[in-house]
Amino acid sequence: MNAPISPAAPATAGRPKDPLKREAILNAAKNLFLSKGYEGSSMDAIAAEAGVSKLTVYSHFNDKETLFSAAVKSKCEEQLPQPFFEPATGSSIENVLLNIGRGFYHLVNSPESIELHRVMMTQANVDNKLSQMFLDAGPQRVIREMERLLTQANQKHQLQVADPAKAAEHFFCLIKGSDNIRLLIGCNPDLKSPAAVEAHIRDVVGLFLRAYRCP
């Protein structure tokens, strides 16, 4: 694991951070973590890929673990941005769940996500701390946002969910279906067509609503 930047380096506290450089660093980190794995991606290589100095990388992210966590969170937010969990006034809970289901399905089954999960499997017996960081930045973040949404749906009498956290887990497991494991193990000749994916998501949302609809 890369050592933290030397204390002798110029202090950057208080300096405004360049959002374009931060985005470039995150993109470089995502590319390298997927192609080289966690251990094979040095901060020097990430800096070179991003076209910035290593000092700039450290000014945005304190260490490689922090950068990895931020890269996982960034990937999740690409497909499931915060507004997905903030239903607009007048929007039905069904439409909100459909949008979340679509975003999550395409997130978890994307080539980047599949490769990232494979990277984490290889790290499972090497660095439990890294596994926990991945869990917190990715899957747990999505479940927490869904739990918050379902709690709000309870308060608005849109749904009746006794355990929002458990219901959130059930929802995402149902959306994943069998396609995810097929992709993970490289056995994916019969993946669903776009129309079949949409039908699958609608089936899951329909089942979810029947289970938790207010009487």
Task: Count the neighbouring beta carbons within 10 Å of the beta carbon of residue 10.
Answer: 8
Q: Which CATH class is domain 72-212?
A: mainly alpha
Three-state SS at 38: coil
Mean pLDDT over 105-133 rounds to 83
Task: Count the neighbouring beta carbons within 10 Å of the beta carbon of residue 196.
Answer: 11
Mean pLDDT over 69-86 rounds to 79
Cα–chain-centroid distance for residue 50?
21
Percent of the chain with pLDDT over 90: 47
Q: What is the pLDDT of residues 96-108, one digit of tens each?
A: 999 999 999 988 8
Architecture of domain 19-62: Orthogonal Bundle (1.10)
Residue 182 has pLDDT above 70, yes or no: yes
- pLDDT value of position 88: 59
The band of 5, judged by pLDDT with boundaries at 50, 70 and 90, is: very low
Measured between alpha carbons, how far is 191 from 198 in angstroms, rounded to an integer?
A: 13
The band of 132, judged by pLDDT with boundaries at 50, 70 and 90, is: confident
- pLDDT value of position 84: 72
Average pLDDT, the chain: 85
Cα–chain-centroid distance for residue 7?
33
Are 52 and 25 contacting, i.e. CB atoms less than 8 angstroms apart?
yes
Q: Which residue has the higher pLDDT, 32 or 128?
A: 32
Residue 14 has pLDDT above 60, yes or no: no
Domain parsing of the chain, residue ranges: 19-62, 72-212
Are 163 and 95 contacting, i.e. CB atoms less than 8 angstroms apart?
no
Long-range contacts from 202-207, C-beta under 8 angstroms, 24+ separation: 202/98, 204/101, 204/171, 204/174, 204/175, 204/177, 205/94, 205/97, 205/98, 205/101, 207/174
CA-based end-to-end distance of the chain: 54
The band of 60, judged by pLDDT with boundaries at 50, 70 and 90, is: very high
Paired with 35 in beta bridges are none
Mean pLDDT over 134-140 rounds to 85
Tell me the two tokens of residue 149: 């949404």
